[in-house]
Structures are given as structure tokens and as C-alpha cells.
Structure 1
Amino acid sequence: MLICHMKTISLCMIVKNEEKILKRCLDSIAPLMDEIIIVDTGSTDNTKAIASLYTDKIYDFKWINDFSAARNFSFSKATMDYIYAPDADEVLDKENQEKFKLLKDALVDEVEIVQMYYVTPTSNNTVQNAQKELRPKLFKRLRTFSWIDPIHETIKTTPTIFDSDIEILHLPEGNHSKRDFSVFIDSFERGNTLSNKILRMYIKELYKCGTDEDFLKSKEIFLHFLDNTVCFKELSCALAHSYRILKDSTSFFKYALKDFATDACSEMCYEIGLFYKEIKDYNEAIIWFYNCAFEVGPIIDVEISGKKAFYELADCYQKLYKLSTPKNKEYQKMANLYKEKGDSFVLPETI
């Protein structure tokens, strides 16, 4: 007879100055945990005092601008079967607490990673490209290896992943983009190779909430990795954006036209639309914003082919209306149409 014991779980969290939200997070998940480990990376508020209400396993870790190093340290302190790795701005509501408990009761040894839905309400969505997406959140602490294949046998290296229906509410208090940008730049300056995943995330965050200054600080990174064929289109978009800021039209079109050597993307159409809008050629800008919205698709920011393109179309038509003599009511009609489209745009649940 097969006897299964309920799996035990270590919560491993890294924190810094989270006094406003840490209690909310731990109240929602602590009863489901068998061990709580908090790694503090330099708090100057009451974060550690709040953490001490839930656990005595609180560790200091000197922040070195490396989230992986801090998370690896937190995982090294775990002793249970599985590790749950939340951030302080996450919350499990009552329904999903029950789902988590059912998962814990039914978890079998074969499962090495459990994915959960990461749900960010529109009001809290700062750098996300979706309202709801699966993310790995629960990890088997000790992994065993098995031989597979009846001949030319090899070790199975891909983990067994279970996609649960648990939904984690992501409720950030503010925008952490400036902190994240500094980590990207510092890692590059220390000679670290940025993975394709990190390059894409870096560019996505810049497009979501980066300033002109943030793009220009990053230009050398874009140029350094431009030969990366996997991220070539994203890097070309970021470079075109940077040179548009610098009003260097020669360099702008050098990178903008590279996108059209293959399949065009919404982001590059948007950049060209902005280029023509900035020189007050609104009719040409409208062509590119229309292509951005309706003819091609986004690769970096889903809002660019939706809300952002619609607002730019509305603005261009409004400017043409103001310039028209006599007043062209068709321009005003189109401006109102695209303003309504922009106002009604919502992020997709998943991407």
C-alpha cells in the first residue's frame, strides 16, 4: 500500500523596507507554512520587527545588487520538502488559501515545480505586460535524478512542472523600476553577460516606465548586445527609441529600417509615428500609428498596439482638426473615435 505524507513547505522571502506590506503578505500565507525564513537585505524601518512576529529565522544579507544571490542565500536556509518564494507585495485571498491547502495535501514527490497565476490588478500594474500569467512559485528543495530511455539512457534534466489554478494577488505599493534599472546596469558594468531573458525584461521595463534618461544610460548596453540574434528586434527598437530622443535622424532610421528587413513590429511603427509627429507631419504619423495598431503586432509592450497607439492617433487627428481651415469635422470625429478606443483598452489576461 502506497502511503503519502503531507509535504512540508519553507517560506523563503527576501525583504528590504517592507513595513507597510509585510504583515499583509504573511497573514495571508503563514498558516500554510511549516517554516518561515526572512532574509533582510538592509532595512532601515520596522521590517525585521514585523518579521519577528512570525519567525525567529531572520537573517541579514549584505545587498550586492543581485537578487539571485539573495534568493540563493534564503533557499540555503530552508529545511522542508518544498520552498515557497513570495515577495512582500503578494497576497493570497481566502479562496486561494484553500486551494493552496488542497495542493499541499495532494502534492506528490514527482512534482518539482508548481506554477501559480500571478494576478496584477490594473490599478497596480506598473511594468507588467499582462494582468494574469503563470509563474513558478513553489520548488522542491532536494531534487533527485532518474535515468530515462531504455537504450542510450540519459539523466532526466527537465523538471516536472505542475500548473496549478492558485491565483496570487500582486499588490505593489510603488514602482521599483529605478532600482531594477540600476541592477541591470551594474551587472553589465561588472562584466556579467545578460541572458536573453534579462535583456528582454530590461527593454520591456524601459518601455513600460523608463524615462528618456534611462534609455540614454542604457544605449551602450543595447549596442554591445546588438549582434544577439535572439533579441535583435527588441534591441533595434530600443536603439531607435534612444536615437529619436537624441534627434539623430540618421542613426534613428539606421535601426528603424532594420526591423523592416524581417517582420515589422508595432513598437517600430510606433517609434516612426512619434518621429513624424515630433516634426509635425501628422498625416504621415497617422499612417505609422495605424500600422502599429492594426497591421502588425507587439513584441515588447502590448499597450503600444492598443492604448498608446489609439491615444497617438487621437492626438494627431485632434492636431489636424485645430490646424484645418475651415474646421474639418471628420478629423474631430476620428479623434473622438480613437480616444474612446484608448480609454476602453484593457491588458490581456495572459501573454
Structure 2
Amino acid sequence: MVTISLCMIVKNEEKILARCLDSIGDLVDEIIIVDTGSEDGTKEIAARYTDKVYDFKWSQDFAEARNFSFSKAKCDYIYSADADEVLDESNREKFRILKEKLIPEIEIVQMYYANQLSFGTVYNYDKELRPKLFKRLRTFCWIEPVHETVRLSPTVFDSDIEITHLPAGSHAGRDLEIFHKIVGEGGELSDRLKNMYARELMICGTPENFREAEAYFTQIADSGETGQDQMKEAVCIVVKGARMRGDYLKMYRYAMKDIASEGVSEVCFELGEYYFEREEYQEATIWYYNAAYETQSILNIHTGGDFPLARLSDCYDKMDLPKQAEEYRQLAKEWSV
């Protein structure tokens, strides 16, 4: 049977850390907890489960902190967990069986990360496969009978283990602060992080977050080197930010960049919001309908579903059309991903 190191980075998790460790601690062979500056009882709780509790000066870099935690591991495999994760009894048993049966050729095990839509996270789906268990030391081997080469791609196993995500609160403010700091200092975001930045803004961003991000995404939208998908993501941020600031000329100018091609739900919804705020309800229904039925969302799935449906109900209420209002009210309640 393989051995497993549980590696975690934590900060101010006294309310939920024990819940996580109670669900996984007895299934692993060592527990490594890296604290990035807790000011509550997190470290005292961690010490009840392990003597391997380390301090790490927070540098606003999660990768650096996770690499430090991994460097302390000694077992065959490393299980990476966050404090807001829980394994229920059926998935604890699946984890135990996996540990018994895991063969050394497997280098990464993916598990389902679930319950995403219940807490307004950055993701547009309720569960997805994520790499969670990693072979600590990788063995390189040669492959191919002729023109031989070293196998570089890891051997990945997709398990059916489902991890329940139960956060105590939203992490959006923390993440958006990190994004703002990086771009404010002239740092470059990968395409993946640009997408994540845009998603977090559309789902959780405050007006202040949009003000901080608008210039960055305007530059992306205006760049001649920006791909179509990234341009559309940037336009979504610019349009919403401009609408919230009351800069309607800029809002319209960038909305047309999207509408001129194949429009997206986020932009149509923002145009609906503009007309709704102006009490032009008939015009608003056109854009809300387009958001719900004629376009697809790219950043926040709700802008193509329950959000515009609920707004259509509001519009018909304002226009004293109760039958239509009730129809869309029910559609909004019944909407699901």
C-alpha cells in the first residue's frame, strides 16, 4: 500500500479546519500544515492533528506557499487539500480503497471537486475533475521502439472520489486583490489567469473592483493581438464597469464590439440593466430576452439563465403585465445549470 502526505496551506481557518482534518486525517500517513499568518486559533487546532506545522511568510503567491508545503512531504504521494473541503463517508471509503489499490505507475489522481454553484464561486459548473493526489518523486522512462524519447506527460487516473466544497465565506476579495496587485505592478497574467480574473469580477466583483480592473481590460479589448475569446471576456468587464460608472458612451462603444460579432449573454444582460435603470422597460426586455435565449454566457452562467429571466419578470411587472411577469418568475425559479 502506498503512503500519503496531506499538505495544506491555511490562514485563519479555525472555524472549519477540524472539520476537514476529521474527514481525511486518519486516511493519510502524515499531515503537513503550512500557516501563512493566522491571527486566530488555526495553528492550535492544527497542532492537535500533527506536529508538522510550519510558518510561511505570505507573499501573495499561492503557488510559492504550496511548493513550500510539498517540500516538507516524505511519503509516496501528496494529497493537496484546502480547509473548506470535506470527504463524506462514502467518499472516505473510496479514498481508502484507492490508497490500497493505487499502483506506482499512476502519477496524478484526479477527483471531483463538487458543490461549486452553492457558494458563488468563480466556476460555472457544480463539479469538475481536478488533480488532487500527486506522486512525490516522478520516475522518467524511455518510450517508443525507435526514435525513442522520454515520456513527459504524466500518467493520470480519473477517480470517482467526490470532494465537497464547503467554504465559510467567499475568497473573491482576496483573489481580486492579488490580481489587482499583479497588474498594477506591471506583471503579466497568463491567458488562464486573465480568464479567472474576468470570471471573479463578473461573479463577485464590487464597483471598486471594476474601477481597478477597467483600464487593464480596456487595453486587452483594444489590443490588435488579442484573440476573439479574450477580447469578448475583456469587453464584458469594460461594459459592466462603464455602466456602473455611468459612462454610457464607453459602455455602448464596447458593447458594439461584441454585438457586431456573435454576442454574449453578459453584454446583453448589461444592456438590459442600462435600460431597466432608465425605466425603459420595453427596450430592456429585448436585451434580457437576448441574454436568456439568443446568446451564450462566457464568464457568469447566470447571465444567460436566471438573472435575465428574473429581470424579464420585473419588467413585465413594471409594465403591468402580470401574466407574463409570473411566467418569467417561474422560469427563473426553475432554471438550473
Query: 1:132-171, aligned counterparts within 5 Å?
Result: 132-171=127-166
Deviation string 1:142-165 (CA, Å, 9 cap, x unpaired) is 122233334443332222221111
Whether 2:25 is the aligned partner of 1:26: answer no
Residue 94 of structure 1 and its aligned partner are, at CA, apart by: 0.8
Deviation string 1:148-193 (CA, Å, 9 cap, x unpaired) is 3344433322222211110111111111211111111112223321
Q: Which residue of 1 aligns with 2:191?
A: 196
Q: Which residue of 1 aligns with 2:243?
A: 244
Residue 304 of structure 1 and its aligned partner are, at CA, apart by: 1.1
Structure-2-length-normalised TM-score: 0.94
Kindly tell me: are residues 211 and 8 of structure 1, through their superposed partners in 2, closer, same or farther at Cα, counting changes over 3 Å? same
Task: State how far apart, in whole Å, the 1-side matches of 2:120 and 2:195 are.
Answer: 18
| SS in structure 2 at match of 1:241 | helix
Structure-1-length-normalised TM-score: 0.91
Q: 2:333 aligns with which of 332, 343, 348?
A: 343
- The one-letter amino acid paired with 1:257 is M
Q: Is the 8 A contact 2:11 2:42 kept in 1?
A: yes
Q: Which residue of 1 aligns with 2:100?
A: 105
Q: Which residue of 1 aligns with 2:210?
A: 215
Structure 1 runs not aligned, ≥5 long: 1-5, 322-330
Task: State how far apart, in whole Å, the 1-side matches of 2:6 and 2:83 are.
Answer: 12
Whether 2:68 is the aligned partner of 1:73: answer yes
Q: Which residue of 2 aligns with 1:324?
A: none
Whether 2:2 is the aligned partner of 1:7: answer yes
| SS in structure 1 at match of 2:319 | helix
Task: Count residues with an aligned counterpart.
Answer: 333
Task: State how far apart, in whole Å, the 2-side matches of 1:122 and 1:341 are.
Answer: 18
Q: Once superposed, what is the RMSD of the aligned Cα atoms?
A: 1.6
Task: State how far apart, in whole Å, the 1-side matches of 2:173 and 2:107 are.
Answer: 34
| SS in structure 2 at match of 1:231 | helix
Deviation string 1:54-73 (CA, Å, 9 cap, x unpaired) is 11111100011111111111
Kindly tell me: are residues 41 and 315 of structure 1, through their superposed partners in 2, closer, same or farther at Cα, counting changes over 3 Å? same
Residue 43 of structure 1 and its aligned partner are, at CA, apart by: 0.6
Select between 51-60 and 205-214 the one with higher mean Cα deviation: 205-214
Q: Which residue of 2 aligns with 1:295?
A: 294
Q: Is the 8 A contact 1:65 1:186 kept in 2?
A: no
Q: Is the 8 A contact 2:120 2:170 kept in 1?
A: no
Deviation string 1:102-152 (CA, Å, 9 cap, x unpaired) is 111111122211111111165444444222221111111112223333444
Task: State how far apart, in whole Å, the 2-side matches of 1:215 and 1:251 are.
Answer: 14
Residue 303 of structure 1 and its aligned partner are, at CA, apart by: 1.1
Q: Which residue of 2 aligns with 1:256?
A: 255
Residue 297 of structure 1 and its aligned partner are, at CA, apart by: 1.1
Task: State how far apart, in whole Å, the 1-side matches of 2:263 and 2:81 are.
Answer: 38
Whether 2:323 is the aligned partner of 1:333: answer yes
Q: Which residue of 1 aligns with 2:201?
A: 206
| SS in structure 2 at match of 1:202 | helix
Structure 2 runs not aligned, ≥5 long: none
Deviation string 1:285-344 (CA, Å, 9 cap, x unpaired) is 1111111111111111111111101111111111111xxxxxxxxx21111111111122
Deviation string 1:16-68 (CA, Å, 9 cap, x unpaired) is 01111101100100011111100000011111111011111111000111111
Whether 2:52 is the aligned partner of 1:57: answer yes
Give the fraction of aligned pairs with identical amino acids, expressed as a percent: 52
- The one-letter amino acid paired with 1:231 is Q
Kindly tell me: are residues 151 and 271 of structure 1, through their superposed partners in 2, closer, same or farther at Cα, counting changes over 3 Å? farther
Q: Which residue of 2 aligns with 1:328?
A: none
